[in-house]
Structure 1
Amino acid sequence: METNLVIEGFKFMGLGMGTVFSFLIIMIFAMNLMAKIVTRFFPEIQVSDKVAAATAVNAQNKTKKIAAAITAAIKHHRG
């Protein structure tokens, strides 16, 4: 009995690629379902504009203080 190895190779390649493709499709649907479940039970907290502005100002002040501390440390180290 003669078998064509090229045809057998294509069969196995098709089977393997089909399996991987099916797994990836199932994984995409599962991840979308999990994302919907998580956002349903743990919604994002809405931050008001005033709180966001105050947080931004505090972050800028912290950055300035850190930069000043680094500059002072460098000047102290150099002499």
Structure 2
Amino acid sequence: METNLVIEGMKFMLLGMGTVFSFLIIMILCMNAMSKIVHKFFPEPQASADVNTTSAPAQDKKKIVAAITAAIKYHREG
């Protein structure tokens, strides 16, 4: 009654890896289902057009660029 330890080790390795892989697949499926349920009952609020920065006038964009430039200059000076 000889036992090949390499074969037994491979069996246990495949069993363990299969168990982990199955658990991860089930976990991903459950997380996707929960995400869909949450988004169905609690949808993301839609941003209004006046809050969107892409629709800001050119003057506002220039002020934003000036503020960012001043902040970078202040940060570099220490």
- Unaligned residue ranges in structure 1 (runs of 5+): none
- Does residue 8 (structure 1) correspond to residue 8 (structure 2)? The answer is yes
Count of residue pairs the alignment pairs up: 72
Query: Which of the two has greater helix per residue?
Result: 1
Structure with the larger RCO, 1 or 2 (CA within 8 Å, 6+ apart): 2
Matched residue, 1:38: 38
What CA distance in whole angstroms lies between the structure 1 residues aligned with 2:15 and 2:28? Answer: 20
What CA distance in whole angstroms lies between the structure 2 residues aligned with 1:37 and 1:64? Answer: 44
Matched residue, 2:17: 17
CA-atom RMSD in angstroms: 2.8
**If the length of structure 1 is used for normalisation, what is the TM-score?**
0.66
Shift of 1:63: 3.0
What CA distance in whole angstroms lies between the structure 1 residues aligned with 2:33 and 2:11? Answer: 33
Matched letter for residue 4 of structure 2: N
Matched letter for residue 45 of structure 2: I
Identity %: 60
Matched residue, 1:67: 69
